[in-house]
Amino acid sequence: MTGPVAQSTNGPQAGGDRGPLLEVHDLVVHYHIRGPGKVVRSHETVHAVDGVSFSLGSHQTLGLVGESGCGKSTTGRTVLYLERPTSGTVRFEGRDLSSLRAGALKDLRRHMQIVFQDPVGALNPRHTVGQLIAEPLVLHNLVPRRQRRRRVEELLELVGLPADAVYRFPHEFSGGQCQRIGIARSLAVEPALVVLDEPVSALDVSVQAQILALLTDLQTRLGLSYLFIAHDLAVVGQMSDRVAVMYLGKIVELADRDPLYARPHHPYTQALFAAIPVPDPVASREKARVVVAGEVPSSLAPPPGCRFHTRCPLAQERCRSEEPLLRTVGDGHDVACHFAEEAVRADPFGTLVELRA
C-alpha cells in the first residue's frame, strides 16, 4: 500500500498539507426521550454516540463497523451535520461545522454527501430519475439549465445506467439500480467526502459486488474519500484503508485494515470476527469457534466501566469500574481495553488462528 494510506496514524498529517479532510473530536450525540409518568416526566437519555474521535484524509476510506445500536449511523449523519451533536467538534476541510451559519453550511454540503441504506426509500417516489439527479444541480446552481440534461446523462453513464432512465420512476428499478441512482445523485455536486451508510446491506450478493466495484472505481476516478459504515466486517475489509470498530457508542478499536484483520486486539472485535459465518464448510467445522454470549446492553443505561464487560470472557474487576481509553498498541493501532495484550494471547473466541490469507 502506498500513498496517503501509508500515513496511518491518528494524527492530523494524513492526507495533505491542509490537514485531514475530516476531523472528528470527542463527538457526543445524546437523545433525550421522555420516560413514562404523567405528571412528573422522567427523562431518559439515549447515549447514541459517546465520545468518538477519528480523522480521515483525502482519497482514503475509513470503515466504521459495528452492530445495531453502536452509533455508527448516527456518527455518519452527525459528521454531515444532518443532526447536531450534543458536544464535540467536526472539522471539515479545516472548518468547524458548528461555527457555520446556515448559508455557509449549505454551501459546504456540496463537498460532503451521503448515500443511504435503503436505496428505494432514499428516492422521492414522485420524481423521475432525471429530476432526482438534477436536484443537487438545481439547488447549488452548478450548471446552467440548458446543460443540466447533459450532466444528468453523464452521471448516469458514470454509474452504469442507461440514459433514458431520466424519464422513469424509482419503482421501475431494482434495488441495485436505485442505489446507483442514489450514488449518481450524490456525485452530482462533486463532493470530496461521501458517507456511505450501509450502502449494500439491502442488496443481493451479486449486486453488492457490482456496487462495491463501482464505488471503488469512482473513488479512484474522482478522488473521493469515503466514510464506509457497515455491520459486515468482510465488506468493510474490502473497501477500507482504516477501520474503526464501534460498540455502544464508543470506538473500541481503530487501526489500519490489514493489521486489524491480522490481529484484532479488542475482545469485541475478536468476537465479531468469530461470529461471521465463513463460506468454507471444512474451515467452519474445524475451528473451535466460541460464540459470544449475551446481548448488547441498552444505550439508555450503558454499563459502567468498559461497556463490553458484561459479555467479555476476560472481564475483571478493573473492567467493571474503570473505563478503558483508546491507547496505542502498535503502529497506528489503538485499542480501548485494559487487557488487550492478554486478549491477543488468550484468543478467547478462537479468532486469531483462522483468518485466511
Q: Which positions from 2 through 61 interact with another protein, judged by CB under 8 A?
A: none
**What is the C-alpha to C-alpha distance for residues 357 and 343, in angstroms, rounded to an integer?**
21
Q: How far is the CB of 52 from another protein (least distance, A)?
A: 19
Q: How far apart are CA 289 and CA 272, in angstroms?
A: 12
**Which of these ranges, 8-16, 90-98, 132-140, 146-154, lies near another protein under the rule CB under 8 A?**
132-140
Q: For residues 192 and 21, what is the distance between their CA atoms, to the nearest angstrom?
A: 8
Tell me the window of 46-54, 90-98, 258-266, 322-330 that interacts with another protein (CB under 8 A): 258-266
The dihedral built from the CA positions of residue 311, 245, 179 and 24, taken in this order, carries a sign that is: positive
User: Looking at beta carbons only, is 63 or 305 nearer to another protein?
Assistant: 63
Site for another protein in 235-254 (CB under 8 A): 235, 237-238, 240
> Least Å distance between CB 17 and another protein?
27
Interactions with another protein, residue window 296-355 (CB under 8 A): 296, 355
The smaller minimum CB distance to another protein, of residues 19 and 315, is found at: 315
Asked whether position 152 contacts another protein by CB under 8 A, the answer is: no
Site for another protein in 55-114 (CB under 8 A): 67-68, 77, 80, 82, 106-107, 109-110, 113-114
The span from the CA of 338 to the CA of 317, in Å, is 11
- Closer to another protein by Cβ: residue 17 or 38: 38
Q: Does 281 bind another protein (CB under 8 A)?
A: yes
Smallest distance, another protein to C-beta of residue 298, A: 9
285 phi, psi to nearest 5 deg? -95, -20
Does 224 interact with another protein (rule: CB under 8 A)? no
Q: Choose the binding region for another protein from 7-15, 23-31, 121-129, 300-308 (rule: CB under 8 A).
A: 121-129
Which position among 204, 322, 331, 341 is part of the footprint of another protein (CB under 8 A)? Answer: 204
Binder to another protein among 6, 167, 318, 328 (CB under 8 A)? 167
Site string for another protein, 173-202 (x = CB under 8 A): xxxxx--x-x--xx--x-------------
- Say how many Å lie between the first and final Cα of the chain, rounded: 16
Which residues 6+ apart lie within 8 Å of 317 measured at CB?
A: none
Task: Give the CA distances from residue 178 to residues 33, 119, 150, 188, in Å, rounded to whole numbers and listed in that order.
Answer: 34, 5, 20, 15
C-alpha cell at 162: 442507461
Note the helical H segments in 188-316: 205-222, 233-239, 257-262, 267-275, 281-286
Helix (H, G, I), strand (E, B) or coil at 280: coil
Nearest-approach distance from CB 79 to another protein, in angstroms: 11
Q: Is 291 in the site for another protein (CB under 8 A)?
A: yes
Among 12, 51, 93, 118, binds another protein (CB under 8 A): 118
- Closest approach, Cβ 31 to another protein, in A, equals 14
How are beta strands 250-256 and 242-247 bridged, if at all? antiparallel
| SS3 assignment, position 33 | strand
Burial track 231-242 (b if 16+ CB lie within 10 A, e otherwise) = bebebbbbbbbb
71, burial (CB in 10 Å: exposed 0-12, middle 13-18, buried 19+): buried
Query: Residue 129 interacts with another protein (CB under 8 A)?
Result: no
List 90, 123, 227, 252, residue binding another protein (CB under 8 A): 123
User: All 3 cell numbers of residue 343?
Assistant: 486478549
Backbone angles phi, psi at 126, to 5 degrees: -95, -5
Query: Binding another protein by CB under 8 A: which of 100, 209, 222, 346?
Result: 209
